[in-house]
Chains A and B, each alone.
Chain A
Amino acid sequence: NAGVTQTPKFRILKIGQSMTLQCAQDMNHNYMYWYRQDPGMGLKLIYYSVGAGITDKGEVPNGYNVSRSTTEDFPLRLELAAPSQTSVYFCASSRAGQGVEAFFGQGTRLTVV
């Protein structure tokens, strides 16, 4: 019963490098999300998707891109990493519906130096 799986768990990037954070869920959830968590700031929504082929920007999308080619996978792409992108990144998924629980991955701690 894997739930939401994120890889990698930790990563150090140099300024200007690119990388993809992987996210997969095995619960057949239509909705998927990427959040970032900065110290003392709570979680902020980067991008979200309500189904395969459909993505939309959240509150803090600059410097990121996403794709949703399958129901299971929702990778987050960082282009030209900057120190401001140092954060903990969480992927989450849920069924459609207003009061349903969102399930979170274990998070990826990314440091840009």
Chain B
Amino acid sequence: AQTVTQSQPEMSVQEAETVTLSCTYDTSESDYYLFWYKQPPSRQMILVIRQEAYKQQNATENRFSVNFQKAAKSFSLKISDSQLGDAAMYFCAYRGPSNTGKLIFGQGTTLQVKP
């Protein structure tokens, strides 16, 4: 069975600095997708970034980028120029090649941004 692990329950970063959130996963599949979702205090789940496993190039969305290491099964999220609005819970998620679209989530990392 596939699993997703986020080993950092809490992280903090100074405003305008850079922070990296870690995620590892376990799967025997070769074709899959990985996602980072943001959950602010409003509880809304917001997609931050996604990565296709067959693409070697790391995905980037403005200040958010990932470091995807397929062999190591690692998928970290880097937030550059952190802003107060980045404070939230961040979830790493895995979606396998089945035709059901099910997501497997990690435990989440709470990010605090200090002014």
Contacts and interface: CB of A to CB of B under 8 A. Distances in A.
A98 B50 contact: no
Nearest to B97: A98
Given A98-B33, A99-B52, A104-B44, A42 B105 contact: yes
A96 B43 contact: no
B85 interface: no
Interface residues of A, number: 27
Chain A at the B interface: SS class? strand
B95 A98 contact: yes
Interface residues of B, number: 26
B106 A42 contact: yes
Contacts of A92: 45, 103
Contacts of B105: 35, 42-44
Given A40-B9, A43-B91, A102 B50 contact: no
Contacts of A2: none
Interface of A: 31, 33, 35, 40-45, 48, 50, 56, 58, 88, 90, 92, 94, 96-102, 104, 106-107
